[in-house]
Amino acid sequence: MSLKDQITEDMKTAMRAKDAPRLLTIRGLLAACKQREVDERIVLDDAAVIAIIDKLIKQRKDSISQFGAAGRTDLVDKETAELTVLEGYLPQRLGADEITAQVQAIVAELGATGPGDMGKVMAVVKGQLAGKADMGLVSAAVKQALAR
């Protein structure tokens, strides 16, 4: 069963359970997937769905920090609940040590030597680790590896 099919089944389950917050989040995710399919005239595979989920998670984290700064705990709670639902669809993430090891292997493979090679390294790293790791941590690991 594809990830998109699993999300659709979870939507049906949330409808039956009358779980409105979860249903709203899942519907938003499916709407984002459908929008991308229509815009690009493609059928999304699991990697593309994970990329959409990553984007939505990043949006939720930004919203949480902004609402927290504004003192809107009601909206922070809502966004945190949505974040939890979205994170449930991501595969197991790599830890910081695993990310560092893979980034160092890629840097060595490419022969990258300094910060000027960051774009070249990030292109390869993004292809290999997209959906498997938090790209913020990956970017930090690349910067650290190229700073040596």
List the alpha helices (DSSP H) in the chain: 3-17, 20-40, 46-70, 73-87, 96-110, 118-129, 135-147
User: 130 pairs with which residues across the strands?
Assistant: 133
DSSP SS3 for 90: coil
Say whether pLDDT at 148 is over 80. no
Share of the chain above pLDDT 70, in %: 99
Residue type, 145: A
For the chain, give the mean pLDDT. 91
pLDDT confidence bin for 52, thresholds 50/70/90: very high
Q: What is the chain's alpha carbon radius of gyration, rounded to the nearest angstrom?
A: 18
User: Rounded mean pLDDT of 110-118?
Assistant: 82
Task: Count the Cβ atoms, other than its own, within 10 Å of residue 130.
Answer: 14
Q: In this predicted model, which residue has the larger pLDDT, 76 or 127? A: 76
114 vs 33: CA distance, rounded Å:
38
User: Rounded mean pLDDT of 87-106?
Assistant: 88
The closest of 38, 77, 40, 37 to 60, measured between CA atoms, is 77
Residue type, 56: L
21 vs 2: CA distance, rounded Å:
23
Cα separation values, 25 from 29, 53, 110, 138, Å: 6, 11, 40, 27
User: Rounded mean pLDDT of 89-93?
Assistant: 87
139 vs 135: CA distance, rounded Å:
6
Q: In this predicted model, which residue has the larger pLDDT, 136 or 71? A: 71
Domains of the chain plus CATH, in order, are: 3-87 (1.10.1510.10), 96-147 (1.10.10.410)
Q: What's the pLDDT at 94?
A: 85
